[in-house]
Structure 1
Amino acid sequence: MKFAAVFRDWLLANDPALSRFRMGARVTLTVVGSILCLAAIHLAGLSLPPIAFGLAIILSIEGGVAVRDRQASAQLATRFYGTVVSLACVTVATLLEPHRYVSDIVFLFVILAATVARVYGPRGFAIGMFAFTSYFMGAFLKPALADLPIAAIGPVLALVVGHTVRTYLLPDDWRRDLLRSLMAIQVRVDDILMRLAVLSGAGSASEADRHELRQLEERLKDVVLMAEGFLPRPSDEAISSAEEPVAALAMKIFDTHLAAESAIVLSLEAPPPFALVHALIEGERDMAEKIAASPAVNGDERIAESARALLWLRDARSALAAVIAEARSDQFRSIGSDEGEQASASPDFSLKNPVMRAAVQITVASAVAMVFGLMLSRDRWFWAVLTAFLIFTNTKSRGDAAMRAVQRSVGTLLGIGSGLLLATLLAGHPAISVPLAAVCIFLGFYYLQVSYAVMTFFISIVLCLIYGLIGQLTLDLLLLRIEETLIGALAGTAAAFLVLPAPTRSTLDLALERWFGGLRELLAAVRDGKGRYELIELSHRLDVAYREVTAAARPLGSSWSVVTRPGRVRQTLAVFLGATYWARIFARNAVAAAKKPEGEVLAALEATLGDIDAIAARGSECFLVKRKAGRAAGRHLPIFKHGSRVGVEMIGTMLGRLYPD
């Protein structure tokens, strides 16, 4: 019982809305359910070919991962179309099996079509994955044409079981997930307060304190973005004042996040009294007010600022707690659900579209992997093509593709080593091997959103266990898989760098363009006196744009890069983080003031807007600038007293640090 409680606490701490848990559980239950149904049919006397099991497994996985429609009816439609395409691809692969070279060329056309289909959005992506994996399975297992009619039972069962699991056993429920994420925000804020209490007791901030508080801040930001993602939004992703309950909740989330960030920033400069932090943790409002108003606190402006930030966090935390308490009883019934599917834009088939460039890259990479894979093995070259195809998933630059190739190679190598050991130890014990394989499937897809290498590690173990169960586990076979994986990884990396490459800096330039555009739009909205809901929404978009910048800049500091600049990258990202923070502070102060900026604030704002245009034109050049190590601030930076002026001045100061010369 104690273990179950500890496990639940750990699970909620790492996966607050249980979205990763549901992903792993859906895939695992669908795979296991489909196999059990097929096994029952097989044992009942209807002999099923291996292709039925292979298609059931692969479509169970793709149905759980690739189908991303919002509504259950749309999910069912995507599964149905995908199943039809799957059967068609397997049929073509079977018909062309006697003509292997023709089949290989057709496979490349299937790969091209599957990746081009992504221009049609989530449904196109899912159907493309169904097509690729099904042709792959057909070419790999080489079924007889006469087996195909009965083999169709496999994909159909995967459709039925997958839809049942997704719709009835583990359904999506944004209200439940939103409540869980709000509760997680509350827990994250409490963690920050506990750490601030330790900091206050020590009286000063060590480097370890700063590191831990930054980590806590990042964890808070993760769950804030998760909560905002669960809010029902119209197709343009904008929340307007007409949606009062949603807008009000979005503002409470925003206020809590910004208050926590401010409490961290100010407390690191001037730790607040321990008694004040303790009073906040214990919920003693009167005591907290008394301590904050005491001469000992107000006698030092820096400490007074920290105290006011903590009181702000207290109020935001209380408002969020009230929302959570209300939601426990009414489950956000006042918030309407956005049931409509987003309207899809007209498909762009030009090479300016990153999806089309990726389609060409993937096809070329698959062709190269096919050639060298065939040179190594006529029967197992599919693994090389599979690797070359998959390493481009969710990548935005050649740096991303290279990192993913390394992750897949490392995950495969370690997974096969571990899987070989497990399969050898468990030989002749299917009662242990089968459940262990199911657990590894769950863990693989549980960690899919966290680490591609970890997912590959667990799936490689599953393959070893399966080979052990069917009596085909040999060291030569596993070494061949590693070699084919390396071929696919190298082919994918080469294609990413040589074929219509999207350089990391080009991708970073686009991310920076969005960030500077978001900053410009937010500051212009403040200047023009826009409403509070619009300012909150623009502030949220700026924060998202900053995250895109960090993701795009990540390969610049990775070990695969020819020139690694982790120090400069971190310094530059810190500048963007600071500018984002102060822009959000400035927007909040504008909301509180409820009037257009005037005088010195307006002049500083106009100057900053001019600086943005000049700096934005230089793109990612700022990541190449060598800067001296920053010194600690000589004075505190108030956010409450004269907050608007200081806020806009700090934005300008941060932008000036991008090019200190």
Structure 2
Amino acid sequence: MINRCRKVATIAQMFYHKAMTTYQIVLNRIQHMRARLTASDPGLTRLITTTKATLSVMTSVFFVSALLALLDQGSLTVSIFAGAMGLLGVLVVFDDTRFKKQVTTALLPISAAISITAGAFLSQYPHASDVVILIPIFSAFYFSKFGSRYFSISMVSFISIYFSSILGVPFQDVPWFYLSILVGIGFAYLYNFIIIRDQPNVTLKRSLRSFHVQINLLFNLIGSYVSSSDQERQRKALKRELDYNAERLNEYAQKVSSQLSNVHPEEIWPGVTKEQLRIYLFDASMLIETLLPTMDDLLKDGAFQNESLQRTTATLLQAIRDIRALRHIDSEQQIQAAERRLEEFKQLTIETQLDSETFFLFNRLITMCEHVFANVRTLQALRTQAIEVKDRDNMEEDTSAEEEDDQEGKDSRMEPTTKKAIQAVAAGSVSIVLGYILTPSQQYWILLTAFIIFMGTDTVGRTFLKAVERTIGTVFGAIIGFVIAQFVYGHTYVEIGLIFLCIFMAFYFLPISYSFMMFWITMMVAMLYDLLLGGITWGVLGARVVDTIVGAALALAAAAYILPKKTQEKVSETTLDYFSHLNKLLNGTLQQLKGDPEPLDLTEKTFEMDETLSQLRTDAESMRKTPGATTRTRIEGWITRIATLNYYAKHLLTPTAEIDDQLQAVIDQLNEYINDNIDTIQLLLKDERSHAVVWDVEVLPSHMAYFNDYENNERKLTDSYHHFYYIRLINQTLVSFATDLGAQTERTSV
């Protein structure tokens, strides 16, 4: 009996341990997924905006429906139009300040009222509305050069005319639509500025939390990467995930930095200025960018076969991860623990035989860690000091950087907004004609597709991608929407709930995937037609798919043949902007090395370079997806070189001590050649020079011997050697880029 009880107890204990292990695994997985979701929406801006839009639609529809039922009026179209106004009132207002947004929102009802009246009145005159509806299309693009407000007003005007024409709004019912306009825009105003109003300080705090979550995810991944040294397949998968998440971290840092223009961080973290927060973001990002190649090289060299080095590296990563900068005022113990781990790491690297390149990366990593620790200490000291000073009368506000006037003269060519307006009207005119031929009952579906595709596309390539994405999303949305509509037919409340769900999902995922957004919109249309028409047929959805394809093709044709802007032109313009930022950063770095009392805000300049690089990737997306191997290979090489330049240039922003006089002269000479090479590249990009020469600079053996001896004897990286190393790499990359553009190379020495 006793043995049986022991056996039962052993089995129970085994099951308990297994259950607890499974529970812990599931819990860790849930926490991991929660962290990813938090990090994927920095500041929760997507969630908040989509929630406001969905609530605005719901309350507008329900309020107007209840009011009409109370007044014994049964027009469902009035309720739907109120929902459309509630949606537009949230989503089409893009002004940069709260006051400007309020003014724009207040002007929307006027635009909608005039347009719905015109649409209803002109419906009795054949084809009059066909001409009038082209006016807001032209205005939306042409007047957007004066501000986003004019696009918002024109967009609401277009939707109002479209709605009145499609549904055949009787002129005597126009007053009811005035009511729906006031209710829809009113609820949009209520959610935008009162109930869920924008709070820049809260958004910044949430965005920084997302930034920290992403960093922690990366530290966890790096730890797994280090421990996977003997598993090749797992290591490759982790490397891809690391590269992806490192790119996301850079985007989050850009987003936080861009939010600082309208926020004073000292109101959230007393004593912390905008510049100091930008430096903190930059240092944290650069620490990750330095960690990744260092760990990669160590793995390739088999350094982590040394269990002691692997264990020390893991404890260092954990110690850095545990530092709660800006989240806990007293983080001194965490910093000291990380410094002890760093010292152990440093001693171990000295004892380990490493090649010069890997040793350089190790020292760079150690330098970055020390710099991050010092920066966190500075932030902590500033916060502590600011909290202790309770009775100060005035808080010193961080002045914003001076705006630079980069206009080098007006371009005599036609402005992009004018080109887009002409293209949209041309495509719209043909769309209306084809609409009457293909789907007379819904003659503006093709027009709507063409108009929306032109939004946010400024090149032929971008227009092509958006047209393809819209078509794919519409086709799959129509199929799935039809199937779901068959299952929920007759269940009115279920259909209404699904419609609101589709609205939320469509606009939540819009910044991520336009195809996914169109998938949900088409599903919503399928269920909306099922609700309004008492059933949906393949004929109706098939007509929508055909109209989408035709509208997309017309938009693409107009962009390609009427005043076209080639993708290569846009890529060249963005690349020119990047080299302009790079040149300013290099010159500013040298000024800082020479002790300039007021150097350029170099940290902000690096974020501008990051944003330009991101824009370049977006502009070149269609070329990177082109089937032609030559085009794709060339643009991939182009972007790779610029990304390499970006990486090297950011390493120049390190704390500057005393620069070596001998090296300072060498760096000055190198920089002169680099400036000349950048000027040459810019002329080549503008097609202003057919024969160009770039300088391939060779460092004299005497200088190289000096540095090699310094490195081997001192085993310590100075600012002199660091700047020299990266400036050389920058010039080598510039030479490679220029020769790819057709420049000739001449060798020189310093």
Whether TM-score is above 0.5 comes out as yes
Q: 1:384·1:484 contact (CA, 8 Å) conserved in 2?
A: yes
What residue number does 1:281 align with?
A: 318
Q: 2:485·2:526 contact (CA, 8 Å) conserved in 1?
A: yes
Q: 2:139·2:150 contact (CA, 8 Å) conserved in 1?
A: no
The range that moved more, 85-94 or 593-602, is 593-602
Gap change, CA 1:509 and 1:472, over 3 Å in 2: same
Structure 1 residues 186-197: aligned runs within 5 Å: 186-197=212-223
What residue number does 2:677 align with?
A: 611
Amino acid at match of 1:179: K
> Alignment partner for residue 142 of structure 1, among 159, 162, 168?
168
> Alignment partner for residue 554 of structure 1, among 621, 628, 640?
621
What residue number does 1:316 align with?
A: 372
> Alignment partner for residue 610 of structure 2, among 538, 543, 550?
543
Q: 2:36·2:214 contact (CA, 8 Å) conserved in 1?
A: no
Counterparts of 1:142 and 1:595, CA distance in 2:
79
Gap change, CA 1:188 and 1:146, over 3 Å in 2: same
The range that moved more, 352-361 or 28-37, is 352-361
> Alignment partner for residue 589 of structure 1, among 636, 654, 669?
654
Shift of 1:285: 2.0
Unaligned runs of 5+ residues in structure 2 are 1-25, 264-270, 323-336, 388-393, 688-707, 745-750
Counterparts of 2:411 and 2:445, CA distance in 1:
29
What residue number does 1:392 align with?
A: 454
Structure 1 residues 388-467: aligned runs within 5 Å: 388-467=450-529
Unaligned runs of 5+ residues in structure 1 are 235-242, 622-634
The range that moved more, 16-25 or 288-297, is 288-297
Deviations 1:593-614 (A, max 9, x none): 6999821111111111111111
Counterparts of 1:104 and 1:269, CA distance in 2:
65
Shift of 1:553: 1.3
Shift of 1:356: 1.4
Residues 1:507 and 2:570 are matched in the alignment: yes
What residue number does 1:360 align with?
A: 422
Shift of 1:391: 0.5
Gap change, CA 1:480 and 1:258, over 3 Å in 2: same
Gap change, CA 1:356 and 1:345, over 3 Å in 2: farther
What residue number does 2:261 align with?
A: 232
Q: 2:35·2:213 contact (CA, 8 Å) conserved in 1?
A: no
Q: Which has the higher contact order (CA 8 A, sep 6+)?
A: 1
Residues 1:652 and 2:708 are matched in the alignment: no
Gap change, CA 1:250 and 1:186, over 3 Å in 2: same
The range that moved more, 275-284 or 401-410, is 275-284
Residues 1:306 and 2:372 are matched in the alignment: no
Residues 1:527 and 2:556 are matched in the alignment: no
Structure 1 residues 260-275: aligned runs within 5 Å: 260-271=288-299, 273-274=309-310, 275=312
Counterparts of 1:432 and 1:126, CA distance in 2:
32
Deviations 1:324-346 (A, max 9, x none): 9999999xx9796999xx99999
Amino acid at match of 1:548: Q
- Equivalent residue pairs, number: 633
2:46 match: secondary structure: helix
Counterparts of 1:343 and 1:81, CA distance in 2:
32
Shift of 1:491: 0.4
What residue number does 1:486 align with?
A: 549
Q: 1:188·1:220 contact (CA, 8 Å) conserved in 2?
A: yes
What residue number does 1:89 align with?
A: 115
Counterparts of 1:126 and 1:337, CA distance in 2:
33
Counterparts of 1:492 and 1:95, CA distance in 2:
29
Amino acid at match of 2:564: P
The range that moved more, 477-486 or 427-436, is 427-436
Counterparts of 1:595 and 1:167, CA distance in 2:
57
Q: 2:93·2:152 contact (CA, 8 Å) conserved in 1?
A: yes
Amino acid at match of 1:505: Q
Shift of 1:527: 3.2
Amino acid at match of 1:277: A
Shift of 1:510: 0.7
Counterparts of 2:372 and 2:460, CA distance in 1:
42
1:152 match: secondary structure: helix
1:18 match: secondary structure: helix
Gap change, CA 1:154 and 1:266, over 3 Å in 2: same
Gap change, CA 1:169 and 1:338, over 3 Å in 2: farther
Amino acid at match of 1:513: L
What residue number does 2:247 align with?
A: 218
Q: 1:30·1:162 contact (CA, 8 Å) conserved in 2?
A: yes
Gap change, CA 1:603 and 1:539, over 3 Å in 2: same
Counterparts of 2:125 and 2:70, CA distance in 1:
36
Deviations 1:30-74 (A, max 9, x none): 100100110110111252645533432222222221102244443
Gap change, CA 1:450 and 1:463, over 3 Å in 2: same
Counterparts of 1:164 and 1:646, CA distance in 2:
57
Shift of 1:296: 4.4
Counterparts of 1:427 and 1:334, CA distance in 2:
62
Q: 2:253·2:281 contact (CA, 8 Å) conserved in 1?
A: yes
Structure 1 or 2, whichever has the larger Rg, is 2
What residue number does 1:374 align with?
A: 436
Q: 1:297·1:304 contact (CA, 8 Å) conserved in 2?
A: no
Shift of 1:202: 4.1
Q: 2:506·2:521 contact (CA, 8 Å) conserved in 1?
A: yes
Residues 1:294 and 2:347 are matched in the alignment: yes
Amino acid at match of 1:619: L
Q: 1:51·1:137 contact (CA, 8 Å) conserved in 2?
A: no
Q: 2:371·2:655 contact (CA, 8 Å) conserved in 1?
A: no
Q: 1:35·1:56 contact (CA, 8 Å) conserved in 2?
A: yes
Gap change, CA 1:324 and 1:129, over 3 Å in 2: farther
What residue number does 1:580 align with?
A: 646
Structure 1 residues 241-260: aligned runs within 5 Å: 245-260=273-288
Gap change, CA 1:295 and 1:432, over 3 Å in 2: closer
Identity %: 20
Amino acid at match of 1:552: D
Counterparts of 1:96 and 1:113, CA distance in 2:
20
Q: 1:381·1:484 contact (CA, 8 Å) conserved in 2?
A: no
Amino acid at match of 2:677: D
Counterparts of 1:639 and 1:52, CA distance in 2:
72
What residue number does 2:41 align with?
A: 15
Q: 1:48·1:150 contact (CA, 8 Å) conserved in 2?
A: no
Deviations 1:487-525 (A, max 9, x none): 110000000100111100011111011011111121122
Gap change, CA 1:75 and 1:233, over 3 Å in 2: closer
RMSD across aligned C-alpha pairs, in angstroms?
3.5
2:261 match: secondary structure: coil
User: Taking structure 1 as the reference length, what is the TM-score of the superposition?
Assistant: 0.87
Residues 1:177 and 2:203 are matched in the alignment: yes
Gap change, CA 1:613 and 1:507, over 3 Å in 2: same
Shift of 1:276: 2.4
Gap change, CA 1:321 and 1:425, over 3 Å in 2: farther
2:422 match: secondary structure: helix
Counterparts of 1:253 and 1:464, CA distance in 2:
46
Amino acid at match of 1:537: E
What residue number does 2:266 align with?
A: none
Gap change, CA 1:571 and 1:607, over 3 Å in 2: same
Gap change, CA 1:285 and 1:377, over 3 Å in 2: closer
Shift of 1:323: 5.7
Counterparts of 1:644 and 1:232, CA distance in 2:
30
Gap change, CA 1:219 and 1:114, over 3 Å in 2: closer
Counterparts of 1:148 and 1:554, CA distance in 2:
45
Gap change, CA 1:548 and 1:80, over 3 Å in 2: same
